[in-house]
Amino acid sequence: MVDVQHWLSALPPGVIYLIVGGVIGVESMGIPLPGEIVLVSSALLAATGVVQPEWVAIAAATGAIVGDSIGYAVGRRGGRPLLERLGRRFPKHLGPAHLARAEQSFARHGVWAVFFGRFVALLRILAGPLAGALHVPYRRFLVANAAGGLVWAFGTTYLLFSVGRAAEHWLKDISWAGLVLAVLAGLVSTAWLRRRAKRLGPVEAPDQAEPVGATER
């Protein structure tokens, strides 16, 4: 992540915003890319004044919402065979076990899987295409997708921006206790979101996964 941050810092702010939106957008279409790493690196750059946090968050949210919507359209058109082809192409990220887990999440939780999936790497990649392949109603998908994208993008950006600014200020004043408290607050809030998201369902082997017929409509 340090290398990504160093590489981004050499670019103009406008290019950084485009990269944030583009990488997150392509990841949301179903292609494994380091969207979260790019967002975290850009948010930390915002703490140093290289970019503006609001534009980082806007770019990330836009990429997430648009990318998921495109992934939804592709999944609806290509169906499960498309997801299986993606699994063969990216077996470490989208293999049969990953697909089985994601399908279970949708079967059990409907569009809530889209919202909380934004905080889990697996569902962040598969949410759009899988929702389309399972014919989740687009209106409900869009609401959950937009809500999850906004909370994830703005929450992550401003959390890291605030921690970075506080660290810079407190390091100057040698206030180590304040720095530790700020970092712990960020870790606790992030851990809570991830724990809540991971409760969507355990990983099961593909031959044990239940058929998805109870998707919310």
| CA-CA-CA-CA dihedral for 112, 115, 118, 123, to nearest 10 | 30
Q: What residues contact residue 187 under an 8 Å CB cut-off, 6+ apart?
A: none
Max Cα distance, the chain (Å): 59
Share of the chain above pLDDT 70, in %: 72
Over residues 43-59, mean pLDDT:
93
pLDDT at residue 171, as a whole number:
46
Q: What residues contact residue 122 under an 8 Å CB cut-off, 6+ apart?
A: 93, 98, 101, 102
pLDDT tens column, 105-160? 777 777 888 898 888 877 788 888 888 888 888 999 999 999 999 999 999 999 98
pLDDT at residue 32, as a whole number:
81
Asked if pLDDT for residue 72 goes beyond 80, the answer is yes
pTM: 0.71
Asked if pLDDT for residue 174 goes beyond 70, the answer is no
Nearest to 60 by CA among 131, 150, 195, 173: 150
